[in-house]
């Protein structure tokens, strides 16, 4: 990630209008800021959310609330709870996430 052309700024995430993205089940709500080539998001997953695709995009992701289960295409599974993060490179390992109870994440990609 090459972070260029981003002046110092503060973000009040409560002032960013969320966009709705449906999963195979459930919904995710994104509050998104785009800084040149860097996308930064506050994402909330509804209880019962299951992604509708295997993602190959790289992310740095931090769980703020709830519990998020992430499955890799090779069968490995990880559980994120508040204070736990993961990182994956673009094209490295297809992954998809689900939550039974809901979750709130901070994501940079």
Q: Which domain holds residue 57?
A: 19-108
Confirm whether 12 is domain-assigned: no
The answer, yes or no, to whether residue 49 has pLDDT greater than 80, is yes
The answer, yes or no, to whether residue 2 has pLDDT greater than 90, is no
Confirm whether 75 is domain-assigned: yes
The answer, yes or no, to whether residue 1 has pLDDT greater than 80, is no
Confirm whether 56 is domain-assigned: yes
The pLDDT value given to residue 4: 83
Q: How far is CA 52 from CA 2, 17, 23, 24, 95, in A?
A: 29, 23, 5, 4, 11
3-state class (DSSP) for residue 15: helix
Confirm whether 7 is domain-assigned: no
Whole-prediction pTM: 0.91
- CATH number, domain with residue 89: 2.60.120.10
Confirm whether 67 is domain-assigned: yes
Residues paired with 39 in a beta bridge? 34
How many structural domains comprise the chain? 1
Band of residue 5 on the pLDDT scale cut at 50, 70, 90: confident
The answer, yes or no, to whether residue 83 has pLDDT greater than 90, is yes
């Amino acid at each position: 990630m090459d972070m260029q052309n981003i002046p110092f700024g503060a973000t009040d995430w409560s002032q960013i209008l969320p966009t709705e993205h449906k999963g195979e089940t459930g919904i995710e709500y994104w509050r998104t800021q785009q800084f040149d080539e860097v996308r930064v998001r506050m994402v909330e997953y509804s209880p019962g959310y299951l992604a509708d695709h295997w993602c190959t995009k790289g992310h740095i992701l931090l769980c703020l609330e709830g519990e998020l289960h992430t499955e890799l295409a090779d069968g490995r599974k990880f559980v994120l709870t508040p204070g736990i993060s993961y990182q994956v490179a673009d094209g490295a390992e297809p992954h998809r996430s689900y939550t039974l109870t809901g979750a709130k994440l901070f994501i940079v990609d």
